[in-house]
Structure 1
Amino acid sequence: MQEKILKNLNRNYFIKLGQILIKIIKLFIFILIFSSMVVWISDNPGNVEITLSNYFVQTNMLGITFVLILIVIFTLLISGLFGTIKNFPKTFKLNRKAKYLLLANESLDRLAENILLGDSEKIEKETRKVRKYLKNDFFSVFMLFNNCLINNDLKGAQQYLSILQTLPHNKYVIDRASVILLYKSKKTEDAKKLLLKLCEAKPQDLWFHEKLSKIYALERDWKKAFKLINNVRNISDDLQDYKAQLLVLSGGKSTDAINLSNNSILVVDETIKYYLNESNIKKASEIIDKTWDKLMYLDLIKTFMISNVKQEKEKLMRYKLISKVLRKKMKANSNETKLALAYASSVASIWGESQSYLDKIDKDEWDERMIELFKNISKEIKGLKISEPKRLFVTQPKWTCSVCKFQDNKWSLICANCNSINSILWPKSSKLPRNNSELFNELLQNPLRHLPKMKS
């Protein structure tokens, strides 16, 4: 479609040139006709006498009328010709502008495609084309800055940032880009100093407060990290989870944290412990009831069954409570719920029931946790054997970083491999991975919207 429009623009350009040539030809034809009429008037004298510049012309009324008509036509033709010639540069510029606009749209389409494909070389090529066609320095330089960051070309990114700083307006975006580059360059102290100034200047800006909070989190200064994020209103669900976890890590009440978010396994686990320490077993079971479907974390059941147990008979009482909660959640494909029931009944020493729940899990879907529990049950029930699986047992699920895919046996707010904050997820949880890196979290929150949100 765009190629057809470009062809039409080129065709219109040549049509304009042709129209000018046609008007020039018409002018010569008109002069020829006019000259012929003058000769005819001279050869056919009449009653009308005209003296012009010492020339004497004598003709009739028909001749003079014809001459006047020719003069009017001649004037209009000359006026139109000069108007066309005068407007030709303007018409040429408008046609070129329309052509460049179409070419820029094509480049923007290819740019969006290459961003999704991650082809940095083509991103740079199309960005330079957009700059040529639209003369948009800020957008183009920012995209080139972004591309350098993606390629880890920090020197190039610094050069483009310097150019950005010379352009008018958009100071807010430049401040954000400066923070990103400092952070990417591992100049944490410089980034902190800049963020402190920016947070003071913009006390309700979520982005700056979040980044400074995460720097404090990397330093394990949980209280400062929580205070910063707590000062900002209208935060996202992800940051609400982060805020709740910081509250627990900084020594705050888990009951306050769970009111902020019950999506965090850390917060839910600490809240269960709190109610068990308060001997409020029913409340602890209600917490599991509200959160189990989305968390699916076996250690929550372990905490409920063994934390602060004062007497052995208390285990049976806890099992009765938790089994009511989990049975109504047990589905045909809910292996985590079946495993949780099997584990809870084994803690309560109800071995037959534990084996029954374990047998409901397809042997081909067993992992190391099922094997370990089976071994414990087999010690209590003599002659218990396991059928041969169709494939090897898999390892037990591990905490996984949604950024670098690093796996660990325990949860941490900070990934031990890539230092991403709040990116460690439990694979059985229904909470979707954020799938963002530190760089793309800053620049590519939406692949088709590169510029950070503008603020005054």
Structure 2
Amino acid sequence: MGQILIKIIKLFIFILIFSSMVVWISDNPGNVEITLSNYFVQTNMLGITFVLILIVIFTLLISGLFGTIKNFPKTFKLNRKAKYLLLANESLDRLAENILLGDSEKIEKETRKVRKYLKNDFFSVFMLFNNCLINNDLKGAQQYLSILQTLPHNKYVIDRASVILLYKSKKTEDAKKLLLKLCEAKPQDLWFHEKLSKIYALERDWKKAFKLINNVRNISDDLQDYKAQLLVLSGGKSTDAINLSNNSILVVDETIKYYLNESNIKKASEIIDKTWDKLMYLDLIKTFMISNVKQEKEKLMRYKLISKVLRKKMKANSNETKLALAYASSVASIWGESQSYLDKIDKDEWDERMIELFKNISKEIKGLKISEPKRLFVTQPKWTCSVCKFQDNKWSLICANCNSINSILWPKSSKLPRNNSELFNELLQNPLRHLPKMKS
């Protein structure tokens, strides 16, 4: 508001001065005589003012014309830069769309456009390198990596890209040697330590794999699970492992066995109490009811403890909990109670485990008819790889089909599937589905 007022005042003063001059010239026209090169020019004040104004206007026009000609190259460059910036923004939008769609041809096309418009070599070459990996064009990826290595200030990204390309080229030993140097140079870099640890895990060298991941602070929950499992596999104490993570069925199962071997049945039941809701794994109950049983009466005592734990967790749709109670009852030879819990499960939802238990109960309960399920062909749940969906009857840290590390999940568990598979999926730390996955 203040600036507008100042402009109005300035305009008013200018009009006042200009109008005063015009009035004065009109009131005092006078005569002006000019002698120039033997030419005599006579006019009045108004005429000379008009001539001066024409001279000023002509001078300004000539000056503007020369300025335009002089600044033409600069103006042309600025206009072209503005145009390229607009086109680059459009290409980046299309690039993001094609990354989501997984269209590698259009990714390459838009990347080259961005390189042309912005003259940004690193981003463009990096995207072309990644696109070659998507298409499994290892020769092309090597060429772009060589270009990346000539660009300054990008050593960290180049190191990661080099590891990925070596691994994708099945040069595992070379990748290991490079990772050893990088881990030594960057003792707290999680990415390099995790990748080298997983290479050792693929070689079943659990101790080295654990040592590497144990040296790094501030790791994710998934890596904490991985670390706890490595500790158990390398011969460490399960009680130490469960303090790292109780999300692993392996760790929980080994901890239950440890406390049962120590005759601490109550502590073993407390472990199940803390973990059952998220794990829902029947074999944990089998371990609790059967492992290190010295006398038959001990089964009944264990059943009393575990039934208290499981009853408070039994929900209307909790078939795994009902099955666990039915199984524990059968081990304690409380067949009627076992049959009662089994009947709480909808017959159409029975799988092979429930059918097997049903047959065992039928042998023990005389004269009692149990209605058979309508369907007898439901497959029991199996361990499933979250990467390739391969199924197996046994847990393993390494998928037998795709060699992914720590990707085998129990389908009844509440733990969400993870996307940790191939190394170069993590190059951009990008969860986009189209990126290729290197078995880590």
Residue-by-residue CA offset, 1:175-232 (whole Å, 9 max, x unaligned): 0000011111111100010001101111111111111111111111111111111111
Between 122-131 and 321-330, report the one with greater CA deviation. 122-131
Partner of 2:413: 429
CA spacing shift, 1:52–1:176, aligned 2, 3 Å: farther
Between 391-400 and 321-330, report the one with greater CA deviation. 391-400
* Residue pair 1:173, 1:452 contacting (<8 A) in 2 also: no
* Residue pair 1:45, 1:58 contacting (<8 A) in 2 also: no
1:247 and 1:31 map into 2 onto residues whose CA distance is: 90
Residue-by-residue CA offset, 1:240-267 (whole Å, 9 max, x unaligned): 0000011111111000000000000000
1:163 and 1:18 map into 2 onto residues whose CA distance is: 57
Residue-by-residue CA offset, 1:28-87 (whole Å, 9 max, x unaligned): 999999999999999999964434456554444333222222111211222223333333
Residue-by-residue CA offset, 1:99-148 (whole Å, 9 max, x unaligned): 32222222222222222222212211221222222222111111111111
2:175 and 2:64 map into 1 onto residues whose CA distance is: 65
How much has 1:95 moved relative to structure 2?
A: 3.0
CA spacing shift, 1:221–1:56, aligned 2, 3 Å: same
CA spacing shift, 1:240–1:63, aligned 2, 3 Å: same
* Residue pair 2:383, 2:395 contacting (<8 A) in 1 also: yes
How much has 1:380 moved relative to structure 2?
A: 0.6
CA spacing shift, 1:106–1:55, aligned 2, 3 Å: same
For structure 2, the 5+ residue unaligned runs are none
CA spacing shift, 1:126–1:168, aligned 2, 3 Å: same
* Residue pair 1:42, 1:58 contacting (<8 A) in 2 also: no
2:198 and 2:21 map into 1 onto residues whose CA distance is: 92
Partner of 2:9: 25
Between 175-184 and 64-73, report the one with greater CA deviation. 64-73
* Residue pair 1:116, 1:447 contacting (<8 A) in 2 also: no
How much has 1:19 moved relative to structure 2?
A: 29
CA spacing shift, 1:102–1:436, aligned 2, 3 Å: farther
1:233 and 1:327 map into 2 onto residues whose CA distance is: 39
* Percent of aligned pairs with the same amino acid: 100
How much has 1:388 moved relative to structure 2?
A: 5.2
- TM-score of the superposed pair, with normalisation by structure 1: 0.85
* Residue pair 1:285, 1:321 contacting (<8 A) in 2 also: yes
How much has 1:93 moved relative to structure 2?
A: 2.8
How much has 1:25 moved relative to structure 2?
A: 34
CA spacing shift, 1:265–1:35, aligned 2, 3 Å: closer
1:70 and 1:438 map into 2 onto residues whose CA distance is: 78
CA spacing shift, 1:40–1:247, aligned 2, 3 Å: closer
* Residue pair 1:403, 1:423 contacting (<8 A) in 2 also: yes
3-state DSSP of counterpart to 2:395? coil
CA spacing shift, 1:441–1:271, aligned 2, 3 Å: farther
Residue-by-residue CA offset, 1:144-191 (whole Å, 9 max, x unaligned): 111111111111111111111111111100000000111111111000
Partner of 2:368: 384
3-state DSSP of counterpart to 1:427? coil
Residue-by-residue CA offset, 1:358-381 (whole Å, 9 max, x unaligned): 111111111111111111111111
3-state DSSP of counterpart to 1:168? coil
Residue-by-residue CA offset, 1:263-313 (whole Å, 9 max, x unaligned): 000000000000000000000000000000000011000000000000000
Between 302-311 and 31-40, report the one with greater CA deviation. 31-40
CA spacing shift, 1:126–1:383, aligned 2, 3 Å: farther
Matched, 1:223 2:223: no
- TM-score of the superposed pair, with normalisation by structure 2: 0.88
Q: How many residues align?
A: 440
2:19 and 2:306 map into 1 onto residues whose CA distance is: 113
Match of 2:93 among 103, 109, 112: 109
Residue-by-residue CA offset, 1:294-338 (whole Å, 9 max, x unaligned): 000110000000000000000000000000000000000100000
CA spacing shift, 1:18–1:358, aligned 2, 3 Å: closer
* Residue pair 1:444, 1:450 contacting (<8 A) in 2 also: no
Match of 1:259 among 243, 252, 260: 243
* Residue pair 2:189, 2:216 contacting (<8 A) in 1 also: yes
1:341 and 1:171 map into 2 onto residues whose CA distance is: 58
Cα RMSD for the two superposed structures? 6.7
CA spacing shift, 1:162–1:39, aligned 2, 3 Å: farther
Match of 1:322 among 292, 306, 322: 306
